[in-house]
Structure 1
């Protein structure tokens, strides 16, 4: 059971409801897809604190839509954060997005294994390592940075660091508030 009970959508202020609809639409590239899980548990929890929610979700909107990273690169980073932080909600939500970005189920499972899993090209290995290094030591090491700097421009490198940081923070909130994935979010984090 969640430590902070999600506010039912019927109890959201009109301003919060309008903001969430705009965020969800922007997160889906301007199209609000009602057939896709809406994240009611997370958004309902966030609706309890509109000021914080609007500020965080506006920034998160950049990470999802305004980032210079490709969708594929972003989802590789986010899923690795979810695996390292053992965040089922984030894993479930972003498994769906990773599939949309072209990942196979086998590749998604290997993301949980990390950069030591065989078969990753050097670029993806460096992305996976960057997550582990940022979460473990707070900095991308020089060898990993060299590989990344050969593949990404300055803005992409900045987006990479802020993507990892944003989703690490979100994972902490999801786990601390004990927000459970909705029933329709089937993928669960592989047991380690």
Structure 2
């Protein structure tokens, strides 16, 4: 299965409205929006709703940037999602990660205790669809309630994106 980006001649007002407030007007087209968004916009209402959630996860999350990125890198690896992995490798580098740290995060390893606990939590969520009381409490040693909630939703949100990108055949 696969979906191609919505061709330019099929973009209409509903399509462009899906990006209102999220993409500048000059990017509200197939080239400017990129392959992933131009494919997702085949369902404008869902795209608009999901982008609001995604913007929170990436730009408004209470998770510290490094913890957010190790989370996403691990999710991308577990789902074998090349698009997410490629995209977030660049974001992680901008956040100061070394290539070795990026690869370690993908493999679920870190020398930093808090990062390692988050990576283990990602695996627990992936494997059991829940965090144990023990894991929740250990995470509470360095994350507050909002941050732990953002962690769970980051794993879920990026898992949803990985499933969609893999199913639709969206490549980096």
Q: TM-score range by the shorter chain?
A: 0.7 to 0.9
Q: Which of the residues 165, 169, 172 maps onto 1:178? A: 169
C-alpha separation in 1, matches of 2:127 and 2:38:
31
C-alpha separation in 2, matches of 1:136 and 1:107:
23
Q: Which of the residues 100, 105, 109 maps onto 2:103? A: 109
The structure in which a higher percent of residues are helix is 2
Structure 1 residue 143: Cα displacement: 3.6
Partner SS, residue 21 of structure 2: helix
Partner SS, residue 7 of structure 1: coil
1:24-103 aligned within 5 A: 24=23, 40-103=34-97
RMSD value, Cα: 2.2
Structure 1 residue 14: Cα displacement: 3.9
C-alpha separation in 2, matches of 1:114 and 1:39:
31
Indicate conservation of the 8 Å contact 2:18/2:44, yes or no.
Answer: no
* 1:13 corresponds to 2:4: no
Per the alignment, residue 164 of structure 1 pairs with: 155
Q: TM-score, normalised by structure 1?
A: 0.79
* 1:137 corresponds to 2:128: yes
Partner SS, residue 22 of structure 1: coil
Partner SS, residue 23 of structure 1: coil
**Unaligned residue ranges in structure 2 (runs of 5+):** none
Per the alignment, residue 117 of structure 2 pairs with: 126
Structure 1 residue 10: Cα displacement: 5.6
Per the alignment, residue 22 of structure 2 pairs with: 23
Structure 1 residue 98: Cα displacement: 0.9
Q: Number of aligned residue pairs: give it.
A: 168
Q: TM-score, normalised by structure 2?
A: 0.87
Structure 1 residue 61: Cα displacement: 1.1
C-alpha separation in 2, matches of 1:83 and 1:171:
10
C-alpha separation in 1, matches of 2:96 and 2:51:
25
**Unaligned residue ranges in structure 1 (runs of 5+):** 26-31, 182-192
Structure 1 residue 20: Cα displacement: 2.8
